[in-house]
Chain A
Amino acid sequence: MDATTLARWQFASTTVYHFLIVPLSIGLTALVAVMQTLAYLKRATPAGEVWDRSSRFWGRIMLVIFALGVVTGIVQEFQFGMNWSAYSRFVGDIFGAPLAMEGLIAFFLESTFLGLWIFGRDILTPRLHLASIWLAALGTTISAYFILAANSFMQHPVGLVYDAAKHRVELTSIWKVLFNSTQLVTFPHTILAAFMTGSAILLSVSAWHLRRDGELVDLVHRKVAGLAVGVLLVSVVGVSIVGHIQGQIMTDQQPMKMAAAEALWNTDDHAPFSLFAYADVSQGHNKIDITVPDGLSILAKNRPGATVQGINQVQAAEAAKYGPGSYIPVVWLAYWCFRLMIGFGVLAGLVAFGVFVQWRRGKLTTSPRMLRLATWTVALPLAANSAGWLFTETARQPWLVYGLLKTSSGVSTNVSSGVVLASLIGFSALYGVLGVICFRMVRRIAIEGPATTLPPPPGSDVIDEPVLSLV
């Protein structure tokens, strides 16, 4: 394999891995903050005590996951320069700005206040301690904003001028980059997906305990399950609505991406929504295609008679605009990733709805099959996130920056394929081992469940290790 292919595999593997962790940590940090807020508001009551134990228990799980997100995040920051130096030279004037802002504004905030939260429980006042977790959660969200603004620039470059002498793009408006129309839908879509993911892991673990202990279950799991179902249902609806708007913007800005997502080979003014397709790429049509009439036209333009451009027509238009060559991404990958993203997301919503219904019927603890199913909830948004991420990045190909720079022109020319292969293998092995360790640790803590009593308050004579300490 050549260096470009290897560098792409490395970027894909490290980024998909990182993006398994990040939505969990964004969602969990905010949800732990919510639990701790409830504990604070209801302090000195039995409900407050339950929320306090919930926030400590879930805080421990959040920290195990968060640590993996932190260390894999450093790789992301360096990788642009290591594997993609030609890209970095080309877009650095614009792309570097949100990355630097992310570090200065978000990373410092989340890391510093997370440290304060972990070790400051007995030192800070309860109010300051609560503020610490909220500031850490705010840091994770701001971080998502800046990195998605950088990614949105790659999907839909704005606020730039091309300098031919230096062969690079230069920034003309930071506001256009930070408030890119693509970004304004991508950010809520991703953050809502993070809340889905965070609440899904809450539901998974709570359901496991509810199934095991039935009526005798620790109140923590009942309360957390309620919180999880509520947040999950709201965020599934939100993520779908935003995703719909996002799809329309995408149809407009990257017509090839929508055409590939639907395996729509030829422009159609009553475009159907494809349910199952098997394409013959060399012939430029589908061999098998099961469709919903007018479905895609409605999805893309909100009208059954709306014209949606097909792959063959977009290819001809782009070849005329950018010169000869193929502008068609890997269609089956785009098609199936798009469906898996939506499918897994909807499934997560259905599971949450099922739990909600059983709850309202008062049969939650007596529905072992429902609870067994709900234990697997967390896998659904994780799979949906990966599919969505793979879709948005691979269906942009062959472009690295849409319409401006092709992926093949972005790779480092002075890094040999042997070196990239070695680091690809090395990081894959390291990530694999860490993934197993992290999963087993989360599983163990989750199965153990929360402490049944709270540690004594600070100032009492008993010396006790804070439950959430790292060392």
Chain B
Amino acid sequence: MLQGFWFGTIAVLWAGFLMLEGFDFGVGMLLPFVTRTDTDRRIALRSIGPVWDGNEVWLLVAGGATFAAFPEWYASVFSGFYIAFALLLVGLILRGIGIEYRGKAETANGRHWCDRAIVVGSFLPALLLGVAFADFLRGVKMDAGHNMAGGFFDLVTPFGLLGGVVTLTLFLFHGAVFLALRTEGAVAFRAKVAAKRVAPVTAVAAVAFVLWTAGTRGGWLSFLLGAVLVVAFVASLAALWLDRIGLAFSASALVCLLVPVWVFSALWPDVLPARNSAALSLTVHNASSSHYTLVVMTVVALLFTPIVIAYQAWTYWVFRARVGAASVGHGGYEETVVGRLRHAASVGTDGESPAEPR
């Protein structure tokens, strides 16, 4: 009973992560494609600036909740997917530092390095998450102690890569629609074009992945969820073509929410199926914590999750205004503090900075 609740809770945490951080990853990956000038890039990044860190916490809490509620699952997955998680961490570190330090970089060169870190750091997690989900569905080889056998390349299968393509292109689409919704001007326009370009790839990959999975795992419920997922994506695409951006974003958010829910529904009651022998599979029963721990964590989750959702939602309300050139000012860091000091020191200049700062 409580095991089921925690299985569901972890699915919800992943869902929140994919819906929110999905567009952050998308925006990061799209940086070279939807921006031309430094101002463009600052507009794109400003759209996620206040929220990306809070969005990332959904992943940390999903990890922490798995540790607390299903320690065996946490231990098997994190040690078994060691290299994938190490790369994921490198990606998240590069991206976080890139976003946070870009505005404080002194030179154009420094900003370019930050841009590269953001692109690579968004691309890696977006791909790896899908590969990991696909490998959960496919099952892994485990011994009696639930230690995963095999190396990194056992996880990089055609099915795994297809899963990676699904999340990668889905986040590109989700991020593009987000930019179209949240920014103004050229960035929003290019984002809309990008969304339309990437959508066919996402659609084909998603349909293929849902069908392939249905052939190997899960019952009618997971197939139904997979079908709803595909329909929601088509709806998002239709809304985009009709220029109903708000609707398109809602639908693509729903798709992102449904991805982990669909994966988890196909896994149930396993949390990590063993491919070599069904008897070795980790299930919600043999992977879970004791009843007392689950009760404690349930009380904590029921008390605090609504509060978290309330203040995060309020944050999005506070920053609801679209981001345009006016909201990011004229220049980067130099034009603000140093620029002001120089302005104060020099007489006769008007303090205007060029569109593409040094």
The yes or no verdict on A and B being binding partners is yes
Asked, given contacts A104-B305, A111-B54, whether A452 binds B67 with beta carbons under 8 Å apart, the answer is: no
Q: Which residue of B lies closest to A441 (CB)?
A: B104
Query: Within residues 60 to 78 of chain B, which ones have a CB less than 8 A from any CB in chain A?
Result: 60-61, 63-69, 71-72, 74-78
> What residues on B are CB-neighbors of A92 within 8 Å?
67-68, 71-72, 74-75, 289
> What residues on B are CB-neighbors of A107 within 8 Å?
57, 60-61
Is the Cβ of A100 less than 8 Å from the Cβ of B67?
yes
The reply on B148 being an interface residue by CB < 8 A is: yes
Alpha-carbon gap, A434 to B97, bound state (A): 8
Asked, given contacts A171-B296, A437-B101, whether A115 binds B77 with beta carbons under 8 Å apart, the answer is: no
Is the Cβ of B301 less than 8 Å from the Cβ of A67?
no
A118, A170, A437, A463: the one within 8 Å of B50 (CB): A118
> What residues on A are CB-neighbors of B57 within 8 Å?
103, 107-108, 111-112
Alpha-carbon gap, A400 to B75, bound state (A): 16
Alpha-carbon gap, A452 to B342, bound state (A): 11
Query: Within residues 111 to 135 of chain B, which ones have a CB less than 8 A from any CB in chain A?
Result: none
Say how far B337's CB is from chain A's closest CB, in angstroms: 5
Query: Within residues 86 to 104 of chain B, which ones have a CB less than 8 A from any CB in chain A?
Result: 86, 89-90, 92-93, 96-97, 99-104
> What residues on A are CB-neighbors of B146 within 8 Å?
89
Is the Cβ of B328 less than 8 Å from the Cβ of A111?
no
Is the Cβ of A77 less than 8 Å from the Cβ of B63?
yes
Is the Cβ of B336 less than 8 Å from the Cβ of A467?
yes
The reply on B144 being an interface residue by CB < 8 A is: no
Is the Cβ of A96 less than 8 Å from the Cβ of B289?
yes
Say how far B310's CB is from chain A's closest CB, in angstroms: 11
Is the Cβ of A93 less than 8 Å from the Cβ of B50?
no
The reply on B51 being an interface residue by CB < 8 A is: yes
The reply on B106 being an interface residue by CB < 8 A is: yes
Is the Cβ of B82 less than 8 Å from the Cβ of A82?
yes
Is the Cβ of A96 less than 8 Å from the Cβ of B74?
yes
Q: Which residue of A lies closest to B63 (CB)?
A: A77
Interface centre among A115, A419, A427 (most CB of B within 10 A): A115
- The SS class assigned to the B binding surface is helix
The reply on B238 being an interface residue by CB < 8 A is: no
The reply on A412 being an interface residue by CB < 8 A is: yes
Alpha-carbon gap, A243 to B306, bound state (A): 38
The reply on B311 being an interface residue by CB < 8 A is: yes
The reply on A436 being an interface residue by CB < 8 A is: no
The reply on A379 being an interface residue by CB < 8 A is: no
Asked, given contacts A63-B100, A100-B64, whether A115 binds B54 with beta carbons under 8 Å apart, the answer is: yes
Interface size class of B (residues with CB under 8 A): 35 or more
Say how far A432's CB is from chain B's closest CB, in angstroms: 13
Say how far B120's CB is from chain A's closest CB, in angstroms: 12
A85, A452, A467: the one within 8 Å of B344 (CB): A452
> What residues on A are CB-neighbors of B82 within 8 Å?
82, 412, 415, 419, 423
A85, A101, A419: the one within 8 Å of B300 (CB): A101
Of A184-192, A369-377, A443-451, the one with at least 4 CB within 8 A of chain B? A443-451
The reply on B319 being an interface residue by CB < 8 A is: yes
Interface centre among A102, A115, A437, A471 (most CB of B within 10 A): A471
Is the Cβ of B64 less than 8 Å from the Cβ of A99?
yes
Interface size class of A (residues with CB under 8 A): 35 or more
> What residues on A are CB-neighbors of B69 within 8 Å?
96, 100
Is the Cβ of A70 less than 8 Å from the Cβ of B53?
yes
Is the Cβ of A103 less than 8 Å from the Cβ of B64?
yes
The reply on A114 being an interface residue by CB < 8 A is: yes
Is the Cβ of A71 less than 8 Å from the Cβ of B93?
yes
Interface centre among B89, B90, B289 (most CB of A within 10 A): B89
Q: Which residue of A lies closest to B86 (CB)?
A: A423
> What residues on B are CB-neighbors of A427 within 8 Å?
86, 89-90
The reply on B79 being an interface residue by CB < 8 A is: yes
Say how far B125's CB is from chain A's closest CB, in angstroms: 11
> What residues on A are CB-neighbors of B85 within 8 Å?
78, 82
> What residues on B are CB-neighbors of A415 within 8 Å?
79, 82
> What residues on B are CB-neighbors of A67 within 8 Å?
96-97, 100-101
The reply on B290 being an interface residue by CB < 8 A is: yes
Of A119-127, A249-257, A308-316, the one with at least 4 CB within 8 A of chain B? A119-127
Alpha-carbon gap, A99 to B297, bound state (A): 11
B45, B64, B319, B328: the one within 8 Å of A104 (CB): B64
Asked, given contacts A74-B60, A81-B74, A171-B290, whether A470 binds B103 with beta carbons under 8 Å apart, the answer is: yes
Say how far A450's CB is from chain B's closest CB, in angstroms: 9
> What residues on B are CB-neighbors of A85 within 8 Å?
75-76, 78-79, 147
Alpha-carbon gap, A91 to B71, bound state (A): 8
> What residues on B are CB-neighbors of A172 within 8 Å?
292
B54, B79, B104: the one within 8 Å of A112 (CB): B54
> What residues on A are CB-neighbors of B65 within 8 Å?
100, 103-104
> What residues on A are CB-neighbors of B60 within 8 Å?
74, 77, 103, 107
Alpha-carbon gap, A97 to B331, bound state (A): 46
Is the Cβ of B92 less than 8 Å from the Cβ of A93?
no
B54, B100, B103, B335: the one within 8 Å of A108 (CB): B54
> What residues on A are CB-neighbors of B338 within 8 Å?
448
> What residues on A are CB-neighbors of B139 within 8 Å?
none
Q: Which residue of A lies closest to B149 (CB)?
A: A414
Per-residue B-contact encoding for A60-95, CB less than 8 Å = 1, 0 else = 100110011011101101101111011011011111
Alpha-carbon gap, A105 to B297, bound state (A): 12
The reply on A241 being an interface residue by CB < 8 A is: no
Alpha-carbon gap, A124 to B315, bound state (A): 11
Alpha-carbon gap, A99 to B134, bound state (A): 27
Is the Cβ of A112 less than 8 Å from the Cβ of B64?
no
Is the Cβ of B101 less than 8 Å from the Cβ of A100?
no
> What residues on A are CB-neighbors of B74 within 8 Å?
81, 88, 92, 96
15 sample A-B contacts, Cβ–Cβ < 8 Å, listed by A number: A88-B71, A93-B71, A100-B67, A103-B57, A104-B61, A111-B54, A112-B311, A115-B51, A116-B50, A118-B50, A120-B50, A171-B296, A430-B90, A430-B93, A465-B336
Given A88-B78, A430-B93, A471-B99, 18 other A-B residues pairs in contact with their CB atoms under 8 A: A67-B96, A67-B101, A75-B89, A85-B75, A85-B147, A88-B71, A92-B75, A92-B289, A107-B60, A107-B61, A108-B311, A172-B292, A413-B145, A452-B340, A452-B344, A453-B340, A467-B337, A469-B46
The residues of A with any CB-CB pair to B shorter than 8 Å are 60, 63-64, 67-68, 70-72, 74-75, 77-78, 80-83, 85-86, 88-89, 91-97, 99-105, 107-109, 111-116, 118-120, 123-124, 163, 168, 170-172, 174, 412-415, 419, 423, 426-427, 430, 434, 437, 441, 444-445, 448, 451-453, 463-465, 467, 469-471
